[in-house]
Amino acid sequence: MTAATAVLGYTLRACLPLRRWWLLALPCVGAVLFGLLARVSEDTPERAFAQVAALGLFALLIPIACLVIGDAVLGAEIRAGTFHFTWLSPAPVRTIVAGRWLGGWLVALVTLVPAVALSAVVAGSPQSAWAMVVATAAASAAYLGLFVLVGCVARRAAVWSLAIVFLIERLLGAALSGIAQLSPMWEGRAVFAGLAPGAQELERKGVPDGWAGVVRLAVITLATLALASWRLRHLRLTGASD
Amino acid sequence: MSDAALLPQDDPAFVADPTVEVADLSVWFGPKVALSELSCSFGPGVTGLLGPNGAGKTTLMRAITGLLGPNAGSVRVSGRNPRTDREVHRALALVPEDEAVPGVLTARQLVRYVSRLHGANDPAVVDGALETVGLLDVADRRVRGFSKGMRQRTKVAAALVTEPSILVLDEPLNGADPVQRAHLIALFRRLGSEGRTVIVSSHVLHEVERLAERQIVLLRGRLAAAGDHHAIRDAMADRPRRVLVRTAATRPLAAALLELDAVSSVSIDGDNLVVSSTRARDVAVALPRLARSVEARLEEVRPLDDSLESMFRELVR
């Protein structure tokens, strides 16, 4: 337990310096601005916010905010050459991975989730806020698992993460429901579609929505964390200078 | 000269009671071979790991601590694989060469974090480690503002806080001022004398001579020599050693010396003679007699290449 809390505390304190918090503030502010944007639509507030959520929040701001956090909790540290302080310990690798992920998720829960809930309120659709909270919490959990995994696999984790979001999820996921089923972006949107009033038109055939989508995102989270643990055991830590 | 020819007969690359065993270890990064079929072992006491840049010292240290997996061969630490058995890390600590430290933490926070990862949570132990390296009075300052030497000592404190029985130090004296260097050398010697296995790499060779009773020399990823630096020098018996002789009567003494079978060559530089010999001991015995015979007064006689620096030069030649 000491090791797990140590990893969690270190993640919150050392992996997310002030600069990262400022970087994270941008998508959070952007989420609220998207809420304002929904107000200019002539549609009902629920439908207008659903469109903004689909195109602005799930497709852009949530992935970017999660990328900022997810890269910070592991990939950035491996690149910086300071990860050995954690790796060279008897703490199990799964504890390290889970601690890093949990630290990142807690940050998402206290920044991104309130921001998207506020976005719904600002859009004039407060009844969509709770669906947005559930969908964002579940999607950010899966995204952080994915980005922790990318941090273990690729040296340029941020670049690869962006490529996954915009090329694989956004482009391929739009065309292929098989990819959308495994995509935090599309699954998060489907969770919102199944739970929020006036968002049914966002539902997509073959992609589980509502609480089934939450379960799917939980499975994605667990799978990515398991893969990250396996990868971390086989990682060659060569140091920042190499 | 082959690698084997440099090794003394009883193979000093290995110790009788090893805690770290390296067997036929090869590590490569793409086309670059960093270590090639390296076999050696380390036991209690201080062992210096020497070699020019790119020799494979850091790679070996990272393989010993499990940060790098071998492409071939094996590393065993206390009989266990450091790559797969995380319990090894209870007794093993590394001070890496990299300057990188989590700059937003204070020295105390970093050392406490490492301590807690090892299951301990005693503030007195953390303070003890910081005091050992002389950082207790700045323990609550952020590491980001530390000098290179202070960062290095912070990493040493983070390694010591776990009370490791095997300590791997990659260039630990980098950036330290002379007082700190002396302090750290005394500390590492004390740790070695306590029965811990201390492996130290350094480019500051005269300090390694002071620090380590045993040295392992790597060249281009291979074992070049092992033992204390005198033993390594003896193992290089087929290479000439140079002795400086200062005298006013350079020419008559040079002529006399050249008649000795043991002398390979003599060069004259002002009042100095530089004598090359593969049997320096024979020259040392004969020199006073020859000096008397030519009525030369010997003002100074000293070996020119008995240091590790010269040993490097010989090995890489």
Q: Which of A18, A87, A241 is the closest to B98 by Cβ?
A: A241
Q: Which CATH number is B3-235's, of 3.40.50.300, 1.10.3680.10, 3.30.56.10, 3.30.230.10?
A: 3.40.50.300
Question: Which residue has better confidence, B289 or B7?
Answer: B289
Average pLDDT estimate for B112-130: 93
**Minimum mean pLDDT range among A23-27, A109-113, B4-8:** B4-8
CB contact residues (below 8 A), chain A span 62-101, against chain B: 77, 80-82, 84-93
Phi-psi region at A24: left, alpha or beta (left = phi > 0; alpha = psi -120 to 50)? alpha
Using only C-alpha atoms, what is the Rg of chain B? 23
Interchain CB distance below 8 Å, A85 and B114: yes
Is the CB of residue A155 less than 8 Å away from at least one CB of chain B?
Answer: no
Q: Report chain B's terminal Cα–Cα distance, integer Å.
A: 10
Contact A117, A53 (CB under 8 A): no
Query: Does B9 have pLDDT greater than 70?
Result: no
Query: Does A111 have pLDDT greater than 60?
Result: yes
CB neighbour class for A140 (10 Å; exposed up to 12, middle 13-18, buried from 19): buried
Interchain CB distance below 8 Å, B101 and A82: yes
Sheet of B72-77: strand order equals: B32-42, B20-29, B72-77
**What are B122-162's pLDDT values in tens digits?**
899 999 999 999 999 999 999 999 998 899 999 999 999 99
Contact A136, A113 (CB under 8 A): yes
pLDDT confidence of B167, banded at 50, 70, 90? very high
Query: How many angstroms away from the CA of B83 is the closest CA of chain A?
Result: 8
Is the CB of residue B174 less than 8 Å away from at least one CB of chain A?
Answer: no
Residues in chain A with CB shorter than 8 Å from the CB of B97 are 239, 241
A–B CB contacts, 8 A cutoff, strictly below: 91
User: pTM higher than 0.80, yes or no?
Assistant: yes
CA angle A114, A119, A122 (to 5 degrees): 125
User: In chain A, which residue's Cα lies nearest the Cα of B162?
Assistant: A89
* The pLDDT value given to residue B233: 63
* The pLDDT value given to residue A241: 45
CB neighbour class for A186 (10 Å; exposed up to 12, middle 13-18, buried from 19): buried
CB neighbour class for B161 (10 Å; exposed up to 12, middle 13-18, buried from 19): buried
Is the CB of residue B227 less than 8 Å away from at least one CB of chain A?
Answer: no
Average pLDDT, chain B: 87
| Six-digit token string for B228 | 């204390």
Query: Does B5 have pLDDT greater than 60?
Result: no
Domain ranges of chain B: 3-235, 241-316
Q: Report chain A's terminal Cα–Cα distance, integer Å.
A: 34
CB contact residues (below 8 A), chain A span 7-26, against chain B: 7, 9-10, 13-14, 17-18
Q: Which of A5, A85, A238 is the closest to B158 by Cβ?
A: A85
Rounded Cα–Cα distance for residues B213 and B193 (Å): 11
What angle do the packed helices A18-39 and A45-52 form, to 10 degrees? 140
Query: Does B8 have pLDDT greater than 50?
Result: no
pLDDT confidence of B50, banded at 50, 70, 90? confident
The DSSP letter of residue B305 is S
pLDDT confidence of B94, banded at 50, 70, 90? very high
Helix/strand/coil (H/E/C) assignment for every residue in chain A: CHHHHHHHHHHHHHHCCHHHHHHHHHHHHHHHHHHHHHHCCCCCHHHHHHHHHHHHHHHHHHHHHHHHHHHHHHHHHHHHCCCHHHHCCCCCHHHHHHHHHHHHHHHHHHHHHHHHHHHHHHCCCHHHHHHHHHHHHHHHHHHHHHHHHHHHHCCCHHHHHHHHHHHHHHHHHHHCHHHHCCCHHHHHHHHHHHHCCCCHHHCCCCCCCHHHHHHHHHHHHHHHHHHHHHHHHCCCCCCCCC
| Six-digit token string for B293 | 């015979």
Average pLDDT estimate for B241-253: 88
Rounded Cα–Cα distance for residues A40 and B297 (Å): 104
**What are B260-270's pLDDT values in tens digits?**
888 888 999 88
Query: Does B165 have pLDDT greater than 80?
Result: yes
* The pLDDT value given to residue B7: 43
Query: Does B215 have pLDDT greater than 50?
Result: yes
Phi-psi region at B273: left, alpha or beta (left = phi > 0; alpha = psi -120 to 50)? beta
* The pLDDT value given to residue A205: 86
Q: Tell me the C-alpha to C-alpha distance, in Å, between residue A181 and each of A185, A218, A222.
A: 9, 12, 15
pLDDT confidence of B316, banded at 50, 70, 90? low
Domain ranges of chain A: 2-233
Query: Does B280 have pLDDT greater than 80?
Result: no
Rounded Cα–Cα distance for residues B137 and B107 (Å): 10
| Size (chain B), residues | 317
Comparing C-alpha atoms, which of B184, B97, B101 is closest to residue B143? B101
Query: Does B254 have pLDDT greater than 80?
Result: yes
Domain at B241-316: CATH code: 3.30.70.100
Rounded Cα–Cα distance for residues B67 and A84 (Å): 8
Rounded Cα–Cα distance for residues B183 and B172 (Å): 12
CB neighbour class for B87 (10 Å; exposed up to 12, middle 13-18, buried from 19): exposed
Using only C-alpha atoms, what is the Rg of chain A? 18
